Amino acid sequence: MGNQLTLAVAGSRKTQGIVEHCASLPRDRRVLVLTYTQANQAELRSRIQHYAGDHHNIEVMGWFTFLLGHFAKPFLPFKFAGQRVHGFNFDGRPHIKAGGKRRFMDANGAVYACELGRLAHELVAGSKGALLRRLECIYEEIMIDEVQDLSAHDWEIVDILLRSSIDLRMVGDIRQSVLATNPRSRKNTKYSYTGAVAWFRGRAAKGLLEIKDSVTTWRCHPLIAAFSDSIFDPSWEFPATESKNETNTGHDGVHLVASKHVDAYVGLYQPQCLRHSVSSAKSFSLDFLNFKVAKGMTYERVLIVPTAPIAEFIAAGTYLEAISASSFYVAVTRAKQSVALVLDNPGASVLPVWQPEQVQA
């Protein structure tokens, strides 16, 4: 089957595509499905059970669990003789000058999450091939959902998998790069978040994987899809999104709403309100979700309180830096039918301005 990467737009049913692929596989094919967040793991388990419940050789696992279970726990003695893994320390960090075992594990023998990728990578070489041979014996295919969430030494692990006998199938959306397995690491920083696209294109150029684009969204109205495409500078060379949402509600697309009209708008359309952080929406007493928290969710309508850079992008067309663009893209593409952007000074924006009927009259 070979190594494949599918770069899919928001609302393109990425997770469902993985589930349907699993359901189509031979019953005896040994498959591991990986993803970073617990919410996505639970979603994958539920859907695979529903659509491929008779496939007993499919496992769903978190990325950290994968590195612990198949790298750190079985092969730690190859690096630290006589030592065992006694747990997982998600929040802790080693002392800046720590070396040896203390670089990777706390006093109780728990592996630091921030050093797990590095430890796993070093164990591949330290095991003199035993680790990879074991993995190749266990799985014929590994799938990674939301692959853009990987970072730091994780890319070294993926590189090893690409060169193994295991078929690697990855799915993600570089434009939704708002999470990272190890955001503070200095390893491979140029490939963090949206930078991952350069890593993938480089591996494709070497013939290690095939990249496919999935550009159809079943969620976002065509006007929302077109606006979401405009968020990233054309130099990113992302393909245009095609929308299959043909619903017409009478209030569709992207609109600007003045602060003084927000209460009226919320009262009429009941959108899910989104903000970058608490500090970016202090003047509004609404039920907000932060952009990152809303990732993976779908709503009929959303109202977004922009940050200063987002407001400048809307009013003047000044492109956002990569991480801000990804956060805004996530927020915009949560909506099926309408997006309202709170902005008092539209500047040169050509987006329509919404007003209550009594004001319009």
CB atoms within 10 A of CB 137: 10
Q: How far apart are CA 94 and CA 290, in angstroms?
A: 30
Specify which residues 304 forms β-bridges with.
274, 341
pLDDT of residue 120: 97
68 DSSP assignment:
I
Sequence-distant (≥ 6) Cβ neighbours of residue 9 within 8 angstroms: 173, 175, 214, 215, 216, 217, 225, 228, 241, 333
Q: How far apart are CA 22 and CA 52, in angstroms?
A: 7
Sequence-distant (≥ 6) Cβ neighbours of residue 243 within 8 angstroms: 216, 217, 220, 221, 222, 224, 225
The CATH architecture annotation of domain 4-214 reads 3-Layer(aba) Sandwich (3.40)
Fold equal for 4-214 and 222-360 = yes
Would you call 318 helix, strand, or coil by DSSP? Answer: coil
Q: How far apart are CA 239 and CA 249, in angstroms?
A: 27
Tokens 């968020």 correspond to 231
CB 340 within 8 A of CB 300: no
- With 0-12 CB in 10 A as exposed, 13-18 as middle and 19+ as buried, what is 229? middle
DSSP string, 143-159: EEESGGG--TTHHHHHH
Q: How far apart are CA 66 and CA 74, in angstroms?
A: 12
pLDDT of residue 180: 82
Would you write out the chain's pLDDT as a tens digit for each of its 361 residues? 689 999 999 999 998 999 999 999 999 999 999 999 898 999 999 999 999 989 999 999 999 999 999 999 999 999 999 999 999 999 999 998 899 999 999 999 999 999 999 999 999 999 999 999 999 999 999 999 999 999 999 999 999 999 999 999 999 998 998 878 888 787 888 887 778 888 999 999 999 999 999 999 999 999 999 999 999 999 888 999 999 999 999 999 999 999 999 999 999 999 999 999 988 888 888 999 999 999 989 999 999 999 999 999 999 999 999 889 999 999 999 999 999 999 999 999 999 999 998 666 4
Q: Which residues of 78-97 are buried (b: 16+ CB within 10 A; e: fewer)?
A: bbeeeeebeebbeebebeee
Cα–Cα nearest to 208, from 48, 350, 2, 62: 2
Going 220 to 228 to 338 to 39, the CA torsion angle's sign is positive
59 DSSP assignment:
E
Domain range annotation of the chain: 4-214, 222-360
CB 3 within 8 A of CB 30: no
CB 71 within 8 A of CB 111: no
Output the CA–CA distances (angstroms, integers) from residue 116 to 87, 92, 161, in the order listed. Answer: 12, 12, 17
CB 143 within 8 A of CB 40: no
Q: Would you tell me which CATH number, out of the four given (3.40.50, 3.30.70, 3.30.1920, 1.20.120), belongs to the domain 222-360?
A: 3.40.50
User: What is the 3 state secondary structure string of 225-278?
Assistant: HHHHHCCCCHHHCCCCCEECCCCCCCCCEEEEECHHHHHHHHHHHCCEEEECCH
DSSP string, 288-311: EEEHHHHTT--EEEEEEE--HHHH
pLDDT of residue 358: 64
HSE-up (13 A, CA, CB side) for residue 334: 27
